[in-house]
């Protein structure tokens, strides 16, 4: 796997300071920062070791959670229950990026969507709700 933080674990600070993925280039490389994805892979590694089915199951969980968040967002926007349900089912069964559910590495998109939908649900009047929404977007 060649991901020491995922394979052997580390402190919470290490997950939030280490890059998710670094590419080599002449200018020194580009790093991607995805601490929640790295942490989720580490949890999967602890639970499922090298069994890819467990990693896929986690992706299915996040995809299902996102469909429920789409439903909740529809209800928050005043869409009828049946319509919101149909939109959420359509979103779940016909995702724009099927790779997010089919590929283990697609988890980055699933987790980003979870935090983004949560931010949209948190948004509302008042400073506290707006700060919560901003934090959720940042975590995504």
Q: Per this entry, what is the length of the chain?
A: 140
CA 118 to mean position of chain CA atoms: 11
Tokens of 55: 């990693």
Q: Residue 41 pairs with which residues in a beta bridge?
A: none
The confidence score (pLDDT) of residue 29 equals 63
111 CB neighbour count, 10 Å cutoff: 22
The confidence score (pLDDT) of residue 38 equals 82
Point out the least confidently predicted range of 10-14, 88-92, 99-103: 10-14
The confidence score (pLDDT) of residue 95 equals 77
pTM of the model: 0.82
Tokens of 54: 């467990």
Among candidate residues 132, 108, 117, 137, the one with its CA nearest the CA of residue 40? 108
**Backbone Cα Rg of the chain:** 17
The confidence score (pLDDT) of residue 26 equals 56
The confidence score (pLDDT) of residue 36 equals 84
Q: What is the pLDDT of residues 9-63, one digit of tens each?
A: 777 777 777 776 665 555 666 667 778 888 888 888 899 988 889 989 999 999 9
């Amino acid at each position: 796997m060649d991901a020491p933080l995922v394979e052997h674990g580390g402190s919470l600070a290490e997950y939030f300071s280490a890059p998710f993925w670094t590419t080599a280039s002449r200018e020194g490389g580009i790093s991607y920062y995805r601490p929640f994805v790295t942490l989720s892979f580490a949890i999967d590694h602890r639970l499922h070791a090298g069994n890819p089915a467990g990693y896929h199951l986690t992706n299915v969980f996040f995809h299902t959670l996102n469909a429920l968040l789409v439903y909740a967002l529809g209800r928050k926007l005043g869409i009828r229950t049946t319509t919101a349900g149909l939109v959420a089912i359509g979103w779940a069964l016909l995702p724009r990026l099927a790779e997010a559910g089919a590929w283990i590495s697609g988890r980055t998109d699933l987790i980003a969507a979870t935090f983004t939908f949560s931010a949209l649900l948190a948004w509302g009047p008042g400073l506290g709700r707006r700060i919560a929404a901003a934090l959720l977007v940042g975590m995504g």
